[in-house]
């Protein structure tokens, strides 16, 4: 079976990380996954070693790709223009829609019109996202399939396998709080700076690692504020750490006795949560859906109220000041991901869905 995934953004982020893991698993089941992106945001290194990647904004070229490759299914991820391309290419096979944007106003344009196409189903990565999508659509089945992680690659490294000679570098004797993601309004880096400022006033044994943001829309704004608030001593910024090297970063955070912090205002899933957890790093995040679908408060991490800086600092201090608690959460987080979010568990659900749709379209469903 051969499928095409269309998404407009080739980013270093959760959607592409999740699809990388799916593509690897699909291949083992005889499903070849190809990707079509229209805009490059520095994410090519995530995909190029696992699948064919097309990167073009030329409509005729896109129509040619769809026409010439005889795909058994096309999956459209938050790209409203794709339905026009599919229609113009005369494609008659099954179309699956993936709805990943966690904000109604931004999601609406991608679901308001399918240009006469009838999607077989809409796939979402959380129960929270299912609620959101159900507001915008009707009469189309919605399937919840969590993002999966390749636990043969992402795992908790023993200390002897940690490469302390490579980036990112930690300061000896300091516990590390990792903050991973884009520098934009939704990820709420402004709250991160407030948290760091508060912790800096209380203690000197902590450093923050901001990982990502090299091509983010607010990177210059972040840099200016980071310097203006005199936080360059407590916050280290690593704009680019390749996906394949993140295993080492998480290992260093865990080994230091630290955790990861998320200040995001809204998510459809949250790949960095399960990456952190499977590497044995507890998570501190806001108590909201879908975070509560991933992290049980007190078990795999700690959840704070809303966007409350004081409460976030209190939860961070609880983990940082209690090594036994940090270790206990570390082990529980690893188990949680293995049981619920391993790629073998969640991608198998997608394989089953593709087989079922294949049979509907007169194929034998054997892959």
Residue 120 belongs to a domain with what CATH number?
3.40.50.2000
Average pLDDT (305-327) is: 98
Q: Are residues 17 and 125 in the same domain?
A: yes
Which residue shows structure tokens 């078990």? 299
pTM of the predicted model as reported, rounded to 2 decimal places: 0.90
Q: Are residues 318 and 347 in the same domain?
A: no
The answer to whether residue 365 is domain-embedded is: no
Say what the pLDDT of residue 361 is: 63
In which band, very low, low, confident or very high, does the pLDDT at 267 lie, cut at 50, 70 and 90? very high
* Nearest C-alpha neighbor of 275 from the set 187, 349, 211, 191: 211
Q: Are residues 32 and 47 in the same domain?
A: yes
Q: Are residues 220 and 262 in the same domain?
A: yes
What is the rounded CA–CA span in Å between residue 272 and residue 236? 18
Q: Are residues 144 and 19 in the same domain?
A: yes
Q: Are residues 80 and 108 in the same domain?
A: yes
Say what the pLDDT of residue 215 is: 87
Question: pLDDT by residue (tens digit) across 91-147?
Answer: 999 999 999 999 999 999 999 999 899 999 999 999 999 999 999 999 999 999 999
Q: Are residues 133 and 164 in the same domain?
A: no
Q: Are residues 214 and 98 in the same domain?
A: no
Q: Annotate 320-357 with b (16+ C-beta within 10 A) or e (fewer).
A: beeeeebeebbebbbebbbeebbbebbbeebbebbbeb
Q: Are residues 275 and 293 in the same domain?
A: yes
The answer to whether residue 154 is domain-embedded is: no
What three-state secondary structure class fits 338?
Answer: helix
What is the percent of the chain with per-residue pLDDT over 70, rounded to a whole number?
98
How would you list the strands of the sheet with 206-211, edge to edge?
235-238, 206-211, 175-180, 259-261, 283-286, 301-304
Say what the pLDDT of residue 244 is: 83
State the residue range of the domain holding 10: 2-148+342-360
Q: Are residues 138 and 234 in the same domain?
A: no
Q: Are residues 107 and 231 in the same domain?
A: no
């Amino acid at each position: 079976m051969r499928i095409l995934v269309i998404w407009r953004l080739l980013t270093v982020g959760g959607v592409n990380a999740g699809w990388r893991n799916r593509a690897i698993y699909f291949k083992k089941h005889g499903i070849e996954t190809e990707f079509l992106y229209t805009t490059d945001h520095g994410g090519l290194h995530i995909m190029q070693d696992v699948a064919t990647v097309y990167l073009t904004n030329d409509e005729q070229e896109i129509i040619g790709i769809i026409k010439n490759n005889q795909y058994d299914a096309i999956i459209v991820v938050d790209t409203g223009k794709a339905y026009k391309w599919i229609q113009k290419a005369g494609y008659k096979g099954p179309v699956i829609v993936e709805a990943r944007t966690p904000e109604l106003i931004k999601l609406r344009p991608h679901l308001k019109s399918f240009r006469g196409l009838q999607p077989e189903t809409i796939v979402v990565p959380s129960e929270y996202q299912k609620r959101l999508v159900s507001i915008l659509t009707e009469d189309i089945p919605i399937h919840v399939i969590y993002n999966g992680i390749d636990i043969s690659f992402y795992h908790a490294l023993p200390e002897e396998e940690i490469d302390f000679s490579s980036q990112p570098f930690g300061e000896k004797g300091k516990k590390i709080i990792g903050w991973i993601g884009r520098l934009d309004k939704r990820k709420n880096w402004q709250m991160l700076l407030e948290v760091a400022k508060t912790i800096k006033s209380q203690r000197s044994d902590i450093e923050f690692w901001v990982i990502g943001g090299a091509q983010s829309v607010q990177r210059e704004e972040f840099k200016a504020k980071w310097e203006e608030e005199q936080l360059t001593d407590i916050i280290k910024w690593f704009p680019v750490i390749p996906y394949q090297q993140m295993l080492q970063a998480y290992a260093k955070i865990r080994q230091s006795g630290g955790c990861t912090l998320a200040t995001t205002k809204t998510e459809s899933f949250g790949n960095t949560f399960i990456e952190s957890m499977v590497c044995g790093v507890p998570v501190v995040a806001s108590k909201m859906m879908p975070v509560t679908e991933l992290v049980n408060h007190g078990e795999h991490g700690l959840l704070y109220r809303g966007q409350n800086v004081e409460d976030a600092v209190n939860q961070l201090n609880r983990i940082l000041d209690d090594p036994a608690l940090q270790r206990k959460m570390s082990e529980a987080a690893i188990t949680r991901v293995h049981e619920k979010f391993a790629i073998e568990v969640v991608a198998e659900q997608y394989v089953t869905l593709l087989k079922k749709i294949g049979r509907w379209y007169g194929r034998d469903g054997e892959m």
